[in-house]
Structure 1
């Protein structure tokens, strides 16, 4: 089996997206990224920035996430973002901006573990874009949530299973150790 090089992508865990319906994912993400970074593996955080005249404003009438504090990464994850391989700012659903594409190439990442907010949009689009770039996509369902609630989260998981494969939607307990040797991110406690 060829060697894999994973990256954990924490998608848009920003103040403007963390609400009652999605806040439960934050402690799961903190635990996951703590262990991932302790194992010495690469992490990327994304931040979505809306802008005047964006498609979100034009088609949805949505004008949020244009400035701080809405665009800021949630407080619980800021220390991990500061230690991340990169923070990628984006104006699209996917993490796959030209900057992120360059990071994938330069780091040789083969597996993209996507998690964060929102399952049915930005996390899903990141996983699908990884699939379409011939990378191995993983969507971590219990480390993802939707600020639109559980029905939107479940819809995202359903579509992900159809788009990237049913076995590619996993739980935190199924995440392969960075380096690919064993199941589950190592417990460093």
Structure 2
């Protein structure tokens, strides 16, 4: 049984973020979510939704992920997401006002974070959790970047510097009650 103070956060595993460098992480995440749910653990999927005039569009000139099918959770995870909480967001982090309220209401203190992209949304969620005095655990082998290995590695470097090397784990490091079947 997963402690009620723990949550698995699956960040932005959406069609629009799947590329050859990020695709291999999807079955790893699916296995982790399946087992987490079997152990009655809470799971939150985040879904990034871009919009016309967003900072992403205005400053980065990035207009993707404004509508389906790009914004949809990938097919391999869609059914699992139906048995979880899905939080739509317009920022990098889980910690939009709605996300922060959800974490507070549920009493989650340990956030096991995985998903796409390591160097942006995964990193920002972990750092925000850290700054809110929560305990983020970034699952390195269940995270990836659609921009490639170099971007993933850069994200991991910054995560180590921001929240500590000890907060980066692998699926096999997730507490035994969680990873027994993974």
Task: Report the TM-score range of the alignment, normalised by the length of the smaller protein.
Answer: over 0.9
- Equivalent residue number for residue 63 of structure 2: 63
Per-residue deviation, 1:47: 0.4
State how 1:16-165 maps to structure 2 within 5 Å: 16-84=16-84, 86-165=85-164
How far apart, in 2, do the equivalents of 1:185 and 1:134 lie? Answer: 25
Contact 1:29–1:116 (CA<8 Å) still a contact in 2?
yes
How far is the alpha carbon of 1:26 from its aligned partner? 0.1
Offset from partner CA, 1:41-93 (integer Å, 9 cap, x none): 00000000111111111111110000000000000001110000x11100000
How many residues align structurally?
180
Root-mean-square deviation (CA, aligned residues, Å) is 1.3
Contact 1:16 1:64 in 2 (8 A): yes
Matched, 1:174 2:173: yes
Query: Is the 1:4–1:111 Cα contact (8 Å) retained in structure 2?
Result: no
Kindly indicate which of the two structures has a greater share of residues assigned to helix: 2
Equivalent in the alignment of 2:179: 185
**Distance in 1, Cα, partners of 2:137 & 2:167:** 5
Write the distance in 1 (CA, Å) between the matches of 2:32 and 2:152: 19
Deviating beyond 6 angstroms after TM superposition, the runs of 4 or more aligned structure 1 residues are none
8 Å contact kept, 1:10–1:116? yes
What secondary structure sits across from 2:93 in the alignment? coil
Task: Structure 1: give runs of 5+ residues left out of the alignment.
Answer: none
Secondary structure of 1:16's counterpart equals helix
Please give the alpha-carbon distance, in whole angstroms, between the structure 2 residues aligned to 1:105 and 1:97: 12
Normalised by the length of structure 2, the TM-score is 0.95
| In 2: Cα distance, 1:141 partner to 1:89 partner | 23
Distance 2:15 2:137 in 1: 24
Unpaired runs of 5+ residues, structure 2, are: none
Structure 1 length as normaliser, TM-score? 0.92
For 2:78 and 2:54, the matched residues in 1 are separated by: 27
Query: Contact 1:4/1:110 (CA < 8 Å) preserved in 2?
Result: no
CA contact (8 A) 2:142 2:170 kept: yes
Separation in 2 of the partners of 1:26 and 1:53? 30
Equivalent residues in 2 for 1:4-23, closer than 5 Å: 5-23=5-23
